[in-house]
Amino acid sequence: MICNAFFVSADFESDCTYKRTRTFLQTKPVYMNIARHNHLALQYVYQKRSNLELTCSFTPFHYQSFLNSTTQNYFLPKHKSHITIVGDQAAPDAVKKRDVRAEWLNLPSSAQATLQLVPQYKVTGFAVHVNKNLKDVVPTDFFSSLQCELVLPFVIAEHFLFLDEQNLSGVPPGQIIDAFSNTVWIGQRIKQYQSSVGLSDVAVSISSSSYCKDHYIFAAHSGLVLPTAPKNSHTYLFSPARGNNGRFAFYGGVDMQFALNEAARIWNMLLFASIESYYFFATDVYRTFDLKQKPWSRFLPYIDNNQVQPNKLQGVNVLTLRAHLKPQAYVDFSCGIRLVSDYIHFEVGYGVWGHDSERIEHLDTSFNNLIGIAGVQQGASASKSTIGTQATDDEQFIPVKLSDIDLISGSALSALNHIFHASVGITKKGSRIDGFIGFGGSVEKAQLEGSMTQWGAWVKIGATV
């Protein structure tokens, strides 16, 4: 039951010295792609020459992650490329080196295996862009230089968790994976494939150019991200995301373009730079946590000392709580060179996309402070137990306190992607309609653990009428 908000200060100690795991990964929202957004359309948006002064474009796209060292082991304990799951009755050497005690997952005591857990995703869809000058809509001097733009992205988000069981002993194939798909769990279930289809978050913006003539552009825009996509599901680990967790955002940016050649030629070389910054508001989400200094402690059994005959509780159910996320900032930057003629448009560029870490301010829940890690004897606690070891029972029952919960374990890490993109297109000026068509692609190399290395491609068709 949701009631009072308990503030718990987050310990933002370096991951180099703090043992922890992560339970949530935020993928890149599809509407954050300034290179794709500006491809071919930038010149037409700010230099419309038709009576209606309306620019429309349709952009199908596809993005897909591939393996990289930063996120390959994101959901595993730190510095682990795989985990060993070993029961108490397995070989003594294996028991000493194990990461997970098999009995915690209701596996046989003779079980022995290694498990890899690798996240990947695909996003396919299209975006419709509509940009209209406002001077005819609101005939006042203030609106004479303003334009309004609406971006409607429709996506098919597919998330994959590749689970690889190896070195199986004492347990049949598939049972390890089944143990992480426990239907009693209210969170962190592992499903190898999930998909979500529908609208991503919708963006609405107002823009204005202070100077736009020939190939020179200096313009600014600001807008609002409307959270039309649903929040991420907490039921499954790495659930597909079409947006950014149902969060409203303000965003703004600047577009600049300069001609490098002194006089107009058949081919003009242009230098461009664009930047956008997003400010996402605070929101409440459900997340699953670990205890401090106890990676994967969400999979331990717990008991409620308030019960006369306490039954063991699933740790995931105890530690899946409603959390309050603080505001968060994102940035998207792109720069490069454009070669433009009357009919051909070619560009290559480099960009950066990233965000700071999520910060959970407090848990909005009445946490039961009479729950502790289950011991061997009925009703006893074993507070020193870890995911790899069963500790001896405590002399007195020791409950888990709210301050024992590691808030950082349920938050997404900071992200930084280096983006290399290229595109080519054809433009055609008519007596009343200017049209354009082109395609482009990008490769994004993740530098930090909070994002995934990916490649993408798009096609853009549009016109100014």
pLDDT tens profile 311-330: 899 999 999 999 999 999 99
- Check if the beta carbon of residue 377 is closer than 8 Å to that of residue 397: no
- HEC secondary structure over 111-137: CEEEEEEEEEEEEEEEEEEEEEECCCC
Q: What pTM, to 2 d.p., does this model score?
A: 0.89
- Coil, helix or strand at residue 7: strand
Express each pLDDT in 125-158 by its tens digit: 999 999 998 877 777 666 677 899 999 999 999 9
- Max Cα distance, the chain (Å): 88
Mean pLDDT of the chain: 89
Q: Which residue has the tokens 């051909």?
A: 344
CB atoms within 10 A of CB 389: 13
With a cut of 50, say whether residue 17 has pLDDT above it: no
- Coil, helix or strand at residue 315: helix
Q: Taking residues 418-434, report their average pLDDT.
A: 90
Choose among 113, 114, 119: nearest CA to 162: 119
- Check if the beta carbon of residue 200 is closer than 8 Å to that of residue 210: no
Question: How is residue 464 written in tokens?
Answer: 């100014």
